[in-house]
Amino acid sequence: MTKALEPSFSRRQPADDTHGRNVCDHCDFVHYENPKIVVGSVVRHEGKILLCRRAIEPRKGYWTIPAGYLELNESPQQGAKREAMEEANADLKLGELLAVYTVERLSQVQILYRATLNSPEFSAGEESLEVQLFDWDEIPWDDIAFPTVHWILEHDRQVEAGEAKAPFENPEGQVADL
Amino acid sequence: MTKALEPSFSRRQPADDTHGRNVCDHCDFVHYENPKIVVGSVVRHEGKILLCRRAIEPRKGYWTIPAGYLELNESPQQGAKREAMEEANADLKLGELLAVYTVERLSQVQILYRATLNSPEFSAGEESLEVQLFDWDEIPWDDIAFPTVHWILEHDRQVEAGEAKAPFENPEGQVADL
């Protein structure tokens, strides 16, 4: 079919709704926007932690854990495994739930797991510039992509050291602003 | 503006995408569908558990915990409190994260908390026929709305009894089919 119109939405409250929504000016289609679920994992291998250097914006060139948006008809565990395969060609054995974080500014809920490698092979996927295993003291702390990556690495360290039990939520008073 | 057209979408894969999406036949608007987040809580007051009898489909007339879809720019905790206010006019003090469940069939992730009442007042909101506090043995087990309500009540009981620590995930092998 040939495209005949430009997309055009107005903010209106449908009759049976409690919130304003984006409604199509041409056909009254209601575009419900839902919070998004990010799934990912802290991957350990022989005491080291796997990080990916981002090949895409936002925060291109900075280091992060393998993570991304959950797709339809997928569990968070399946999504975390898929993201590690896409970004790091890494085959994960998924462990326990490590944290549930909220980034309200982005309407994002992050569901993050602990994981290990099923085999010690990995390489940069399309969305990564490089993938590397780091000892704790070698982690490039000044070049971490997002605040929640700092949180999750510290929370994983606490669980690994037996100082705390998962899962964690946002550190007190923190909203993950950059 | 007057509605000129009927909504019409076709399944197509946008050029820069990895999955098929619903694309508008009139204007090429891409309707991304994301998994939905349900937030809710097991509310205890003086040893009893608060349940709501649903006034709406699906499962109208059956009993459930206060829960519903997370809205944009809202944390799961805020959402769980809002749902209890909407469905049961109940003012919650939210406790720990109790479970993260997946219902793949519905592309739904449920994030559920423990909670108590800030004040012992509650009543049926618009989406409830009635709201009631139940002793464990009085819970109407044959008239529970959804499988995940069975799971969360049992998981909450285990935590309350000191038999297990939160959070829980889907019981082994279970997908929450009705």
- Domain region containing B108: 36-160
CB hemisphere CA count around A164 (13 angstroms): 12
Tell me the CA distances in angstroms from A1 to A21, A25, A156, one per residue in order: 27, 20, 51
Rounded to the nearest integer, the mean pLDDT of chain A is: 92
Higher pLDDT, B144 or A7: B144
For position B3, what pLDDT does the model report?
65
| A134 within domain boundaries | yes
When divided into structural domains, chain A yields a total of: 1
Residue labelled with tokens 């054995």: A93
Other beta carbons within 10 Å of B104? 17
In this predicted structure, the answer to whether residue A24 has a pLDDT above a threshold of 80 is yes
Q: Distance between CA B42 and CA B112 in Å, rounded?
A: 8
Question: What is the band of B171 on the pLDDT scale with cuts at 50, 70, 90?
Answer: confident
Chain A residues in contact with B104 by the CB 8 A cut-off are 73-75
Contact B107 A169 (CB under 8 A): no
Q: Assess if residue B87 is contained within a domain.
A: yes
Residue A92 half-sphere exposure toward CB, CA atoms < 13 A: 29
Q: Kindly indicate whether the ipTM for this predicted assembly is greater than 0.90, answering yes or no.
A: no
Whether residue A24 lies within 8 A of chain B, CB to CB, comes out as yes
B75 Cβ under 8 Å from any chain A Cβ: yes
Tell me if A167 is assigned to some domain.
no
> Contacts of residue B31 in chain A, CB cutoff 8 Å?
31
Contact across the interface for B4 and A26, Cβ inside 8 Å: yes
Tell me if B5 is assigned to some domain: no
Contact B26 A29 (CB under 8 A): no
Q: What tokens does B76 get?
A: 């799961």
Contacts of A97 in chain B (CB under 8 A): 100, 167, 169
Q: Cβ atoms within 10 A of the Cβ of A90, count?
A: 26
Residue A116 contacts residue A42 (beta carbons within 8 Å): no
More confident of the two residues A41 and B103? A41
Tens of pLDDT, residues A95-137 = 999 999 999 888 999 999 999 999 999 999 999 999 999 999 9
Q: How many CB pairs under 8 A join A and B?
A: 106
Q: Is B4 on the interface with A (CB under 8 A)?
A: yes
Is the dihedral angle over the CA atoms B110, B144, A73, A85 positive or is it negative? positive
* Chain A residues with CB-CB distance to B72 below 8 A: 33-35, 107
Q: Could you tell me the end-to-end alpha-carbon distance of chain A, in angstroms, rounded to an integer?
A: 43
A30 located within any domain: no
Q: Which residue has the tokens 């100082």?
A: A163
pLDDT at A3: 65
Chain A, window 122-141: residues with a beta carbon less than 8 angstroms from a chain B beta carbon: none
Q: CA A5 to CA B24: how far, in whole Å?
A: 10
State which H helix or E strand residue A151 sits in.
helix A147-160
CB contact under 8 A, A35 and B33: no
pTM flag (> 0.80): yes
Residue B129, domain member (yes or no): yes
CA A151 vs CA A80, A170, B145, B152: distances in Å: 18, 8, 37, 28
| A52-95 per-position pLDDT tens digit | 999 999 999 999 999 999 998 899 999 999 999 999 999 999 99
Comparing CA positions, the residue from B100, B102, B127 lying closest to residue B111 is B100
Chain-chain contact of A4 with B19 (C-beta, under 8 angstroms): no
| pLDDT tens, position by position, B113-125 | 999 999 999 999 9
Interface contact B109-A36, CB threshold 8 A? no
User: Is residue B63 a part of any domain in this protein?
Assistant: yes
What is the sign of the dihedral through the CA atoms of A18, A21, A25 and A30?
A: negative
CA distance A136 to A138: 5
Q: Provide, as residue numbers in chain A, all residues whose Cβ is less than 8 Å from the Cβ of B10.
A: 1
CATH code at A149?
3.90.79.10
CB–CB of A66/A52 below 8 Å?
Answer: yes
Amino acid identity of B163?
A: E
pLDDT over 80 at B157, yes or no:
yes
Q: What are phi and psi of A46, to 5 degrees?
A: 50, 45
Indicate whether B170 pLDDT > 80.
no
Q: What is the DSSP letter of A144?
A: B
- Half-sphere exposure (CA, 13 Å, Cβ side) for B98? 26
- The closest CB to that of B104, out of A5, A75, A165, belongs to A75
pLDDT digits (tens, 9 = 90+) for B46-98: 999 999 999 999 999 999 999 999 998 899 999 999 999 999 999 999 999 99
Q: Smallest Cβ distance to A100: which of B3, B25, B111?
A: B111
Domain for residue A105, yes or no? yes
Task: Determine whether the interchain pair A34/B8 forms a contact, defined as Cβ–Cβ distance below 8 Å.
Answer: no
